[in-house]
Structure formats: structure tokens, C-alpha cells
Amino acid sequence: MSVNRQSMRDQIRETLLRRIGSGELLPGTRLLETPLAKEFGVSSIPVREAIRELAAMGVVESESHRGAWVREVSLAETIEALRVRAGLDALAARSAAAALCGRCDHLRKIVTDLIAAARQSDLVLFQELNQTFHRLIVEASGNGVLLRVWDSLGFEVRTRAVMEFLQSGDAVEIAAEHEAIVDALDRGDGDAAARLLSSHALRLVPFLENEAAKQSHGKVANPA
């Protein structure tokens, strides 16, 4: 029973993360336990647990007697998260290189699909595949603590900022960067994979810093 409950909790959490990331659930949207429990066909317990995890990740806010609601994730937070992710991805690559050496067929297939999604301008699918790609490398590291910390960054909810970046640049070129990462892992070169992953994660930072500066300038220009 506990395994099933945990599985449902994880499914509910991931579903809510995707909805928040896609914009289906906007900042300020209340997360009501009873309707969600009815939707997923479960008791309120796994729903409550999923919401608590989202609150711990900083994705939602909650208060006693007020419930929980989706919180606004700032560009500054996303920039900080990307910098942390760059370090975590690099650590994961070094740790996973031995396990993935000569065993990267699945990662290559994801990259093929990722490039196809970029060519079709399907940025929602692009983000899902990208998230899967990076998480698989973290999983292959065999480091459970690393995986929990990586998951806690909640990149599923940061997809709107990433999609704006993809729309402003060459999504196919960005997708193709993953090929070199797979090549390095496939030959067991963890150091090269780490450098490539770190650089890839940080590529978005200058764009977001520029966007944050624009927002800040706008607030100064329009103090009301």
C-alpha cells in the first residue's frame, strides 16, 4: 500500500510540475486537494504529499487555513538554478561515464527525437525530451542524493523562460549540442562530458540575465 501511495504521489507531483511549466497552471492558481484527488482517483493523502513536496521545492506556496497555490518563479531564481545545475550535471557526467560507456543507444535516440522536435518547433516536446535526457545521466551516476538535489531544482516549472530562449535562437543547434555529450559519454570520457554539460547548462544564463535587466529597467521606468 505504501509503495502504491508513493507512486501516486510521484505521478501527481510530476503531472502538476508539467502543468505549471506549460502555463496550464499559472502563478496564483490554487491547488485544491479534493478536486485533484477526484481527478486522479485517489484519496487526499497522496495529493497532500505531492503538494508538500512542491512546496519544499519552492514551486508552490502554502499557508495554514489558506491552502496552496502556484508561486511565481523569478528569472533570478532560474539563473541561480541553472548555475547549480551546471555543477550537478558535470558531477553526474563524471560519475556516470563508466556506466554509460558503450551503452548510449537510448540517449542517442532521445537526441534524435530532440532534434526532430526542434525542427518541428515543438518546444513543449523539446523540453520534455531535454529534461529526460539530462535526468537519465544523473540517474546513471548512481548517486541518490545527487538525483534528489537535481530534482529539487524543478526545471519542469522553468520551461517558459527556456522556451523564450529557444524561440530567440536556433533550437536545432541547441538540440544538436547533445550529440557531443553523448559521444563523450559513449567513449567513457567523463571529463569531456562534464565540460560540455556545464557549458550547455550555462548557455541560457546570459539571455536570462538580459531579460531580468529589461524587467528591472521597466520597473524603474514605471514605478507605479
Residue 221 lies in a domain: no
Residues 125 and 143: their CA atoms lie apart, in Å, by: 27
Residues 86 and 198: their CA atoms lie apart, in Å, by: 4
Give the rounded distance of the alpha carbon of 108 from its chain centre: 20
Residues 201 and 85: their CA atoms lie apart, in Å, by: 7
Within 13 Å and on the Cβ side, how many CA atoms surround 19?
19
**Whether 69 contacts 202, CB under 8 Å:** no
Residue 219 lies in a domain: no
Range of the domain at 135: 75-213
Residue 223 lies in a domain: no
Indicate whether 9 and 47 sit together in one domain: yes
Residues 6+ apart with CB under 8 A from 211: 75, 161, 164
pLDDT of residue 209: 87
pLDDT of residue 74 exceeding 90, the answer is: no
Any idea what the CATH number is for the domain that residue 85 is in?
Answer: 1.20.120.530
Indicate whether 25 and 130 sit together in one domain: no
Q: Which three cell numbers stand for residue 80?
A: 541561480
Indicate whether 118 and 193 sit together in one domain: yes
- Of 66-70, 156-160, 161-165, 199-203, give the lowest mean pLDDT range: 156-160
pLDDT of residue 221 exceeding 70, the answer is: no
Long-range CB contacts for residues 33-40, cutoff 8 Å, separation at least 24: 33/67, 36/12, 40/8, 40/11, 40/12, 40/15
In terms of pLDDT, which residue wins out, 78 or 89? 89
pLDDT of residue 3: 39
| Domain end position, chosen among 27, 45, 70 | 70
Look up the pTM and report it. Answer: 0.79
Indicate whether 23 and 82 sit together in one domain: no
pLDDT of residue 103: 97
Residue 188 lies in a domain: yes
* Backbone phi and psi for residue 64, each to the nearest 5 degrees, phi listed first: -60, 135
